[in-house]
Amino acid sequence: MKMEAEQRRAHVVVLPYPSQGHINPLLQFAKRLASKGLKATLATTHYTVKSIHAPNVGVEPISDGFDEKGFAQAGSEVVFLKSFEEHGSRTLSEVIEKYSSTDAPVTCVVYDSFFPWALNVAKQHGIFGAAFFTNSIANSNIFYRLHCGLLKLPLEFHDEELLVPGLPPLNSRDLPSFLQSPGTYPAYLAMKLRQFTNTDKADWIFGNSFEALEYEEAKSISDLWPAKLIGPMVPSAYLDCRIDKDNTYGASLWKPLNIECANWLETKPPKSVVYVSFGSMISLTAEQMEEIAWGLKESGFPFLWVVRPSELDKLPQGFGEFVQEKVMIATWCNQLEVLAHRATGCFMTHCGWNSTLEGLSAGVPMVGVPRFADQFTNAKYVEEIWGVGVRPKEDEEGVVRREEVVKCLNEVMRGDRSDEIERNGRKWMELAKEAISEGGSSDRCINEFVEHLASHGEEGRQVD
């Protein structure tokens, strides 16, 4: 029996929350596991399954209860999350069942921490369960402490600073938006806290970060929340190059204009272009969009701006005519390809965690304009802790004005601090590569997991 088990390939089913910023790192983890000999299958919603094209990773559809349009069909996060739990539990279970009589039964579910119910499904099948946290460890540290009462709402500030062990002092503007104003997205705040309800029962906890980047943040809660840092989960071509032809995540919810962007970048001098993207979720106010647009124009730098189709009508009237050959507006692109291009000199970003890790991995100076969720904390680290960028000031209405955009772009592209920012960028890029390369801190954690599954796969298959 044992012999048979050893000959089988361990099989991991990876379950992301179905948004771009969650599918990307979990799919990348699946690819990484497959490159180390495991069988890996991504289970994702009917609505997103068509967007996945990753060699060596299988794909299985599951249901969130809204198979045509996903979240947009649900109308609210409360309805969506409840429906996902109900339909997702059932259909994830069916996927595990489907493989049970094959030569590759599922050994472990690696689930997005937004779905703690997936651990119950894994345990009902008597297999291993691993939680994957897609945010920074600093962010998890804060929410973990809130979950178990080590921090309490309303938060207590001392001289306008919140003191959290393992983290630098935080001002109100550095906190995740759900804590700056807890009333605004109660369902998301509840979900952020719920992530930790059963992590003590999970066989592994993974965080998409790396030891050198967030050592203290992880260490200060490791007794309670022992996460293994396995990041950055960024395609291998930009880091260790050990996965063949791995230069894109393999999941695009929008059609990327890669050739057009590459051709345009080719016409620009080294480090001259500002790449601008606010990720896949947030929607800027028309006023904010206008201020950024005119700020970019006034800065005089050529810029490539990703404006999703739903945001295009917020661009100022006639904007295209004013800026002409100095600008490329793309509805989507392969962000890493743009960041790694020699012409790119700066990344104006909303500081989503993936974008932040990608900017660090590519060593590109950043201008952080956070708008939502954990982006505020990430922006603080970008500017003050890692020293790889700057964060524009908002006015009393919370808007970053055009003069501030110009000032910050000048600061990172050619200001007094630009050399230092560039040096820091190179340092973090090297440390990111080191972490995921053979023998690096993240690589060792991944190997431990792979080896454990390869040799103890059958032990996981015991009903609790």
Q: Does 277 bind ligand UDP (CB under 6 A)?
A: yes
Contact flag: residue 13 with ligand UDP (CB under 6 A): no
Other beta carbons within 10 angstroms of residue 296's beta carbon come to 24
Answer yes or no: 22 catalytic. Answer: yes
Shortest approach of ligand UDP to residue 329 CB, angstroms? 11
* Closer CB to ligand UDP, 51 or 93, in the complex: 51
Burial class, 309, CB count within 10 angstroms (exposed 0-12 / middle 13-18 / buried 19+): exposed
Residue 221: partners with Cβ closer than 8 Å, 6 or more residues away: 140, 141, 144, 145, 165, 166
Assess 332 for contact with ligand UDP (CB under 6 A). yes
The catalytically annotated residue of 64, 112, 240, 246 is: 112
- Which span (166-174, 263-271, 353-361, 416-424) binds ligand UDP, by CB under 6 A? 353-361
Which tokens go with 25? 């790192």
Reading the block at residue 219, the tokens are: 């260490």
Compute the distance between CA of residue 129 and CA of residue 375 in angstroms, rounded to an integer: 28
Q: Classify burial at 191, counting beta carbons within 10 Å of its beta carbon; exposed 0-12, middle 13-18, buried 19 or more.
A: buried
Q: Tell the smallest beta-carbon distance from residue 174 to ligand UDP (Å).
A: 18
Q: Which stretch binds ligand UDP (CB under 6 A): 65-73, 170-178, 354-362, 421-429?
A: 354-362
For residue 91, state whether it binds ligand UDP (rule: CB under 6 A).
no
The tokens for 149 are: 């009462």
Of 354, 418, 441, 442, the one binding ligand UDP by CB under 6 A: 354
Which one of 76-84, 200-208, 351-359, 439-447 is the stretch in contact with ligand UDP (CB under 6 A)?
A: 351-359
Q: Does 335 bind ligand UDP (CB under 6 A)?
A: yes
Quick check: 174 binds ligand UDP (CB under 6 A)?
Answer: no
199 binds ligand UDP (CB under 6 A): no
Nearest-approach distance from CB 358 to ligand UDP, in angstroms: 5
Distance, in Å, from the CA atom of 382 to the CA atom of 368, rounded to the nearest integer, reads: 7
Stretch that binds ligand UDP, among 16-24, 92-100, 434-442, 451-459 (CB under 6 A): 16-24
Q: Does the protein bind ligand UDP through residue 352 (CB under 6 A)?
A: yes
CB of 157 to ligand UDP, least distance (A): 27
**d(C-alpha 297, C-alpha 43), whole Å:** 43
The beta-strand segments (E) located in 178-281 are 204-207, 228-229, 273-277
- Of 279 and 460, the one with the shorter C-beta distance to ligand UDP is 279
Residue 339: half-sphere exposure toward Cβ, Cα within 13 Å: 30
Does position 208 interact with ligand UDP (CB under 6 A)? The reply is no
Nearer to ligand UDP, 41 or 378 (CB): 378
Residue 329 is a binding residue for ligand UDP (CB under 6 A): no
358 counts as binding ligand UDP under rule CB under 6 A: yes
Is residue 54 involved in binding ligand UDP (CB under 6 A)?
no
Question: What six digits make up the tokens of 448?
Answer: 């431990």
CA distance 295 to 402: 4
Binding of residue 281 to ligand UDP (CB under 6 A): yes
User: Distance between CA atoms of 298 and 369, rounded to whole angstroms?
Assistant: 18
Distance from C-alpha of 317 to C-alpha of 212, rounded to nearest angstrom: 46
361 lies in the binding site for ligand UDP (CB under 6 A):
no
Tokens standing for 216? 């203290």
Among 62, 131, 306, 432, binds ligand UDP (CB under 6 A): 306
Three-state DSSP at 24 gives helix
Q: Based on CB atoms, which residue is closest to ligand UDP, 25 or 88? A: 25
Could you give the C-alpha distances from 16 to 113, 118, 450, in angstroms and in order?
9, 11, 19
Torsion region of 159: left, alpha or beta (phi above 0 gives left; psi -120 to 50 gives alpha): left
Which part of the chain contacts ligand UDP (CB under 6 A), choosing from 99-107, 140-148, 168-176, 334-342?
Answer: 334-342
Given the residues 11, 22, 147, 350, select the one marked as catalytic.
Answer: 22
Distance (Å, whole) CA 276 – CA 363: 16
How far is Cα of residue 84 from the mean position of the Cα atoms in its chain? Answer: 20
- Does residue number 21 form part of the binding site for ligand UDP (CB under 6 A)? yes
Size of the site for ligand UDP (CB under 6 A): 19
In the complex, what is the shortest distance from the CB of residue 281 to ligand UDP, in angstroms, rounded to a whole number? 4
Closest CA to 264 of 311, 348, 320, 330: 330
| Region of 177-185, 274-282, 313-321, 439-447 interacting with ligand UDP (CB under 6 A) | 274-282
Q: What is the DSSP letter of 437?
A: S
Interface residues with ligand UDP (CB under 6 A) are 19-21, 24, 277, 279-281, 306, 332-336, 352-355, 358
Residues catalogued as catalytic = 22, 112
